[in-house]
Amino acid sequence: MKKAIIFDMDGTLFQTNLILEPALSATFDVLRAKGLWQGDTPIEKYREIMGVPLPVVWETLCPMHTLETHEESNALFHSKLIEQIRNRQGALYPNAEQTLEALAENYHLFIASNGQTEYLQAIVETYQLQRFIEGTYSIQSIPGGHKSDLVKKVIEENAIQQGSVVGDRSSDIQAAIDNQLLSVGVRFDFAQETELQKADIVINNLNELRYLKLG
**Are 60 and 82 in a shared domain?**
yes
**Are 175 and 122 in a shared domain?**
yes
Say what the alpha-carbon torsion angle 149, 94, 122, 156 is, to the nearest 10 degrees: -20
2 secondary structure, DSSP code = -
* 98-108 mean pLDDT: 97
**Are 202 and 189 in a shared domain?**
yes
For 132, the domain range is: 3-15+91-211
The answer, yes or no, to whether residue 215 has pLDDT greater than 90, is no
Query: Residues of the chain with pLDDT > 70: what percent?
Result: 100
Structure-model confidence comparison of residues 26 and 56, the more confident one: 26
DSSP bridge partners of 167: 185
Contacts of 96 (CB under 8 A, 6+ apart): 13, 206
pLDDT band at 89 (very low <50, low <70, confident <90, very high): very high
* 39-80 residue pLDDT tens: 999 988 988 887 677 778 899 999 999 999 999 999 999 999
**Are 95 and 82 in a shared domain?**
no
CATH number of the domain enclosing 98: 3.40.50.1000
**Are 9 and 28 in a shared domain?**
no
Among 64, 86, 108, identify where a domain stops.
86
The answer, yes or no, to whether residue 99 has pLDDT greater than 80, is yes
Using a 10 angstrom Cβ sphere, with 0-12 exposed, 13-18 middle and 19 or more buried, the burial of residue 160 is buried
* Backbone phi and psi for residue 186, each to the nearest 5 degrees, phi listed first: -110, 130
**Are 76 and 58 in a shared domain?**
yes
* Backbone phi and psi for residue 155, each to the nearest 5 degrees, phi listed first: -60, -50
pLDDT at 51: 66
Among 40, 69, 86, identify where a domain stops.
86
Q: What is d(CA 92, CA 73) in angstroms, rounded to the nearest whole number?
A: 26
